[in-house]
Each structure stands twice: as C-alpha cells, then as structure tokens.
C-alpha cells in the first residue's frame, strides 16, 4: 500500500482472508489456538484493512468491516495503523503536502482521545497505546 499498488495490496488481503477462513474451523474447535501466531496475523490483517480504507476512503475501517478480527485484535490493528499513518505523514511532508500531514495528525489525535477512554491494563494493547 505504501508503494501505491492498490491491486497487489487487495490481492494479498484476499489471500490472507482465504488462509484465515481455512484455519477458522480448527480455531473454532480449539479456541486456545487463536492465541499467538494466528491472533497476531489477524491483528496485522486488521491494520492492513484499516490502512487500505484510510488510503482509499479517508476514514478508519470499523470493527464490523474487519470481521476476521476480535475486539482486541481490531484495537491492536488500529493502534498499529497509527504508526503507518506517521510514516505516510512523513512521506507527505517531504513533498510539502501540508493538508495530508494535518489530516494524519488530526486522525492520530482523535484516536488518542478515544483510547484515553479505555482502561488499558499492562499488556499488549497498553504497550501499543503507550507508543501512540
């Protein structure tokens, strides 16, 4: 997505969805299998969907739009997205696209305000929030 290749990015997201769909019956039978690699992969998937939605539509994909992700995976994806948004803002700043930089800043500030409402205990989400 950072390279501007929307078609390739969409194909890769579809591959991820297919792989997750193939694994879902196993995960359903043994829910503890979701922890670890599968959950981390879904969080990365959520981040990618959120980033793609932002780049194409200028908004954050909702939890319902990232159906593969459970709540914590979606929230982790949102927090990771802010890092990607910072990279985009830096790239836009180098070409003096002040509007894009300001929009990125506004989105991150809004997300930070929303995450302040959560009572995040020590854990993965708290670490990601602290990086925000």
What confidence tens digit (pLDDT) does each residue in 96-109 have?
A: 999 999 999 999 99
Q: What is the pLDDT of residue 48?
A: 95
pLDDT band at 1 (very low <50, low <70, confident <90, very high): confident
What HEC string does the chain produce? CCCCCHHHHHHHHHHHHHHHHHHHHHHHHCHHHHCCHHHHHHHHHHHHHHHHHHHHHCCCCCCCCCCCCCHHHHHHHHHHHHHHHHHHHHHHHHCCCHHHHHHHHHHHHHHHHHHCCCCCCCCHHHHHHHHC
Distances (CA, A) of 53 to 31, 59, 96, 107: 29, 6, 23, 13
Is the confidence at residue 83, as pLDDT, over 80? yes
Kindly report the pTM of this predicted structure. 0.89
Q: What is the pLDDT of residue 31?
A: 85
Q: Which tens digits make up the pLDDT trace of 11-69?
A: 999 999 999 989 988 988 888 888 888 999 999 999 999 999 999 999 999 999 998 99
Q: What is the pLDDT of residue 7?
A: 87
Q: What is the pLDDT of residue 85?
A: 94
Q: Which tens digits make up the pLDDT trace of 108-122?
A: 999 999 998 988 888
Which segment of 59-68, 74-83, 86-95, 111-120 scores lowest on mean pLDDT? 111-120
């Amino acid at each position: 997505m950072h390279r501007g290749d929307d078609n390739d990015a969409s194909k890769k997201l579809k591959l991820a969805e297919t792989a997750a769909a193939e694994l879902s019956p196993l995960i359903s039978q043994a829910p503890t299998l979701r922890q670890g690699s599968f959950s981390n992969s879904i969080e990365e998937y959520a981040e990618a969907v959120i980033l793609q939605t932002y780049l194409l539509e200028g908004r954050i994909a909702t939890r319902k739009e990232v159906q593969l992700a459970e709540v914590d995976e979606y929230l982790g994806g949102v927090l990771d997205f802010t890092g990607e948004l910072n990279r985009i803002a830096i790239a836009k700043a180098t070409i003096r696209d002040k509007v894009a930089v300001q929009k990125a800043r506004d989105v991150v500030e809004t997300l930070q305000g929303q995450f302040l409402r959560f009572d995040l205990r020590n854990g993965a989400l708290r670490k990601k929030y602290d990086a925000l």
